[in-house]
Structure 1
């Protein structure tokens, strides 16, 4: 099982994202889901040190934003030779975020970040504000409050979602919801065990490496063939109305 997100403490965030970047198969699975609906001009909210940015660096414009200065410092170093990849220390709820509309983005991507933000509705409304009609917002969020446990609390998660609860918030923000699905059914059980039985606050590298190498390649194929009725995460493609 792979964690939904990392600590919001900046030093730990950089260190943990570097550690998690070794979960190659899992991140590539997420990336394949997220990249397909994205356009050519993308705002990445919660870009961290750029683990996903590298997957979309071939687009015409990528603007990475994050609230952690340490992450943006690493992001800028990583993409210093990519003039079309920009980085800003910026909160989506900051009025300055709305100025990104001037860059004419056609997509917003936000992977495993919204659960860290208290005002999720306001944040989705900010996404809608910078997009044209028909623009896409692609998100990954953790699923099911019944799985909420010490890891979520340690990571600063305000909530977990169902497809129904996420759809309600997205529609209130001005989006249609053409794609809402669960992913990572095996991770559901692993997260439950860590949260409810083992009471862990974080996962071991052994868990991460085993899941990534042995489980993900098979699980991705199975879930591509048949969408699971539950999962560790909710994957969403939203379209601005």
Structure 2
């Protein structure tokens, strides 16, 4: 999907992405796994930059407050406002991540979380520089993105991805944004083969989450504890995602 530079989250306006976000809501154990890889303590105020339908945000809100949710798609904004209505610790705002420094500063944000967002932006470093400029010294950035450029195929194109990352390429982008990288690791080794089959062999031209039935999603949910143990045992040397924690020096 071609997203013009500076257009922020226009990729989130399409109904297909909205449906995919709803499906992913059934994988809360996956979000919990991601949060555990980020750490166990987080400093607020925090922002979820590219909050989507708010599945990860709902989990994050239990661990850090106050929480600012930035989103740019009208469907998702409506969902977020309904989901967090009455929660004074959560604020929902329309945003363009390539021009969000003042917005983040206004809320005194000290921690920024952004999951599966940077790959949708033509210029990921531009957004990272906005985050860096907004955070105070020692402010934290928490990132998850899809991994391994050799997996890139029709699934990524249908999902609006400009790229997939390696640990090295994500590190380069984060450092180009001005951050010091604390940790950068792969996540979900077991997810690589099915993604390769669906995107590179079967060439399924649809959002990855839509290639699974609800029965398959429920089975994945149950398998996540085993997948987490596998990652701990093997490293892992590669994975379906890259998870990064960085600090503003």
Q: Tell me the TM-score normalised to structure 1 length.
A: 0.90
Displacement of 1:21: 0.7
Sort the Cα spacing of 1:195 and 1:13 in 2 relative to 1 into closer, same or farther, 3 A: closer
Any unmatched runs of 5+ in structure 1?
A: 1-6
Q: Deviations over 1:42-69 (max 9, x none)?
A: 1111101210111122322110011102
After TM superposition, list the pairs within 5 Å mapping 1:1-241 onto structure 2.
8-34=12-38, 36=40, 38-58=42-62, 59-94=64-99, 96-202=100-206, 203-205=211-213, 206-214=215-223, 216-241=224-249
Displacement of 1:226: 4.6
> Does the aligned pair in 2 maintain the 1:10–1:71 contact within 8 Å?
no
In 1, Cα distance between the equivalents of 2:13 and 2:191? 24
In 2, Cα distance between the equivalents of 1:163 and 1:149? 19
In 1, Cα distance between the equivalents of 2:170 and 2:145? 9
Sort the Cα spacing of 1:69 and 1:185 in 2 relative to 1 into closer, same or farther, 3 A: same
Sort the Cα spacing of 1:24 and 1:44 in 2 relative to 1 into closer, same or farther, 3 A: closer
Alignment RMSD (CA, Å): 1.7
Displacement of 1:35: 5.6
In 2, Cα distance between the equivalents of 1:117 and 1:9? 14
Q: Tell me the TM-score normalised to structure 2 length.
A: 0.88
Deviates more, 1:217-226 or 1:66-75: 217-226
> Does the aligned pair in 2 maintain the 1:35–1:56 contact within 8 Å?
no
Q: Secondary structure at the match of 2:164?
A: coil
Q: Secondary structure at the match of 1:140?
A: strand
> Does the aligned pair in 1 maintain the 2:12–2:72 contact within 8 Å?
no
In 2, Cα distance between the equivalents of 1:169 and 1:23? 28
> Does the aligned pair in 2 maintain the 1:43–1:62 contact within 8 Å?
yes
